[in-house]
Structure 1
Amino acid sequence: MRQSFLPLLLALALCTGIAPAAEPITPPEAIRAAAVAAVGGDLATTEAAVDPNLRMATCSATLQAVPTSARIVRVRCPDQPGWQLYVPVQVRDIEKVLVVTQPVQAGETITADMLAMRRRDMAGAGSGFADPAALVGQTAQRSLAPGAAPTREDMSEGPLLRRGDPVVLVSKAGGIEVRVAGRALGRAAPGGAISVENLQSRRIIRGRVVGAGIVEVMR
């Protein structure tokens, strides 16, 4: 994994801080440790791509490290003239979670025979499932490839409404409820917003899915 970061690391280094061969250097491990600490990680769970052959000039002050994005940390020597280096980082969060063992299409209901427990890096992926009872019976909101770990954002607890599906459009005002036939113009899970065509007036109305095939007009 570390090797894949090295071209990027070398491209991001400011060459003015590279020490001649005979001069002392800042240990690459010290640069790596500073980058890891900046993202609140530790050396066991965080990968910081620092070339072990890198020769940055020795630094008399404490290295300063600040994240500039979710995957990049700027490590700086505050000496004069000093130097700075942009280090790619990757935080790992290895968990035992449920994965699907076969392709799953959007709108398909998850069954127990689709699932297996595997170790996956869930860093930045969302909240996975460790209990089959919490996942079985839910509906996939998007397609999942074999081996993918479904997250709570991928699932809904009811059937997925898809473009072209017939719906009942419900409008409530002043204690009066009106129901008309409609047609879904997009895809939405229960609780999600969707555009619906009123088949009686041909108007396009924005609503929220409140039940199986039922969309309540949003006001």
Structure 2
Amino acid sequence: MRKLKILVRITLIYLAIVNHGSAMTFDRDYLYNFIKNHVENNVSLPERGKLKVDVAEIDPRITLHPCLSPLTANIPENHNGRNVNVKIVCPDEESWQLFIPVKIQTIVPVLVTQMRINKGTLLNNDNIEIIFKDSSQIRGTVLTDPNIVTGARTKRNLSQGSTITNKNTCFVCKGEPVNIIAKSDNFEIKSFGIALDDGSLGEIISVRNKKSGRVIQGQVNAINQVVINL
């Protein structure tokens, strides 16, 4: 019996040594990449957007202990979208955890002017371009597709690098001819009119039917075109 107890004790010591030897150690580069990948895979992006993730330097005074289990990471649900404290946990029996500050920058594509543009200028590929901007610096409804914007006019003077928005462009401009499309599920009627207001994409404006003289309300859905849903 005594020999059996000694054998069991030796076995337990051996297993403890083996398990300790299989614990994974982490350097700071590993943790930086681990946190960066976790944030990139768990923060939602706007359409065609990108993330710029900046992981703060880990205090050099902190000792990074080995861990038998795979590390886990957690992003607080109530984070503000730009600055988060990512929680790193070693879920061993003798667990440990770290909180690492991370700055998240959401970058989205926007159309901007390539040069100074005067009021009333037609927009095209020669005077606009797509760049990526920090979403926190964007105000209003921005436009991102040059194919949709080409042919719209500026409603004010714009400096070089100005963002193209609904507020500074008109897809249908006051006093200009406009195509009117009245449609339902079963039919579609086309006519012509004169715009009584400036209108950007998605806005409701007044249009005077050229033939009947009647003033109607239509939604701008393309350059010099409004739609009336019957």
TM-score (norm 1): 0.46
Q: Tell me which structure has the larger Cα radius of gyration.
A: 2
